């Protein structure tokens, strides 16, 4: 459970400021070559496509949704020199 900051700072608890809990499932699988000098990975973020907010302003107006909140898939390539 997470509580947001109270915008008026009076120290009163606002039940609407209670954000619901959430879980995120990320996965990756990779292959490395030449003693890990090169690595290619398939990545998946937020596999369950969970919608969530991390901050709520308390005025029923503004929620902060993280940049990585959407499900996405990708490829990563790393090289060490």
Q: What b-and-e string marks burial along 21-40, b requiring 16 or more CB atoms within 10 Å of the CB?
A: eeeeeeeeeeeeeeeeeeee
Per residue in 24-42, pLDDT (tens digit) is 899 999 999 998 899 999 9
Write down the domain spans for the chain.
Answer: 2-79
Task: Walk along the chain (81 residues) and give the pLDDT tens digit of each residue.
Answer: 555 555 555 556 666 667 778 888 999 999 999 988 999 999 999 999 888 877 776 666 677 777 778 899 999 999 998
Rounded to two decimals, what is the model's pTM?
A: 0.60
């Amino acid at each position: 459970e997470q509580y947001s900051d109270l915008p008026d700072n009076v120290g009163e608890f606002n039940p609407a400021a209670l954000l619901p809990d959430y879980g995120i499932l990320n996965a990756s699988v990779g292959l490395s070559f030449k003693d890990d000098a090169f690595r290619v990975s398939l990545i998946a973020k937020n596999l369950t496509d969970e919608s969530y907010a991390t901050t709520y302003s308390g005025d029923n107006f503004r929620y902060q949704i993280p940049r990585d909140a959407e499900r996405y898939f990708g490829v990563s390539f790393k090289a060490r020199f």
